[in-house]
């Protein structure tokens, strides 16, 4: 990916958006002659991998702790995307309540 390891950065005028990263990866794969490779990514790489799969550019994706998907609005979308690609989702169960803060006792 641009600016990771010894890879050069994008042009200064290029928008720093997810779709830019997907377009860059598409061009890079074409340059390598890699047609629909298996893709793995962590964090931002996981999110980019999922978008690459949506674009039909990957045979499979392993997304480890993908970025995003942290709001209640995004969570159903995440489950739908993962289920669409055959991921097994954890069973639905209520999450444990966060313990209420206890007032400190005077010393």
Nearest-5° angle of CA 41, CA 45, CA 50?
80
pTM, two decimals, is: 0.61
Q: What is the CB neighbour count within 10 angstroms for residue 74? A: 11
Q: How far apart are CA 27 and CA 79, in angstroms?
A: 29
pLDDT the model gives residue 98: 46
Q: What is the mean pLDDT of the chain?
A: 80
Mean pLDDT, rounded, for 52-65: 91
């Amino acid at each position: 990916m641009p600016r990771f390891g010894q890879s050069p950065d994008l042009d200064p005028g290029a928008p720093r958006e997810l779709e830019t990263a997907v377009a860059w990866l598409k061009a890079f794969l074409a340059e390598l002659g890699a047609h629909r490779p298996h893709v793995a990514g962590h964090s931002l790489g996981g999110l980019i991998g999922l978008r690459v799969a949506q674009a039909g550019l990957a045979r499979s994706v392993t997304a480890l702790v993908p970025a995003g998907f942290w709001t209640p609005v995004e969570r159903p979308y995440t489950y739908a995307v993962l289920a669409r690609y055959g991921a097994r989702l954890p069973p639905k169960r209520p999450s444990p309540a966060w313990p209420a803060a206890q007032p400190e006792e005077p010393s």
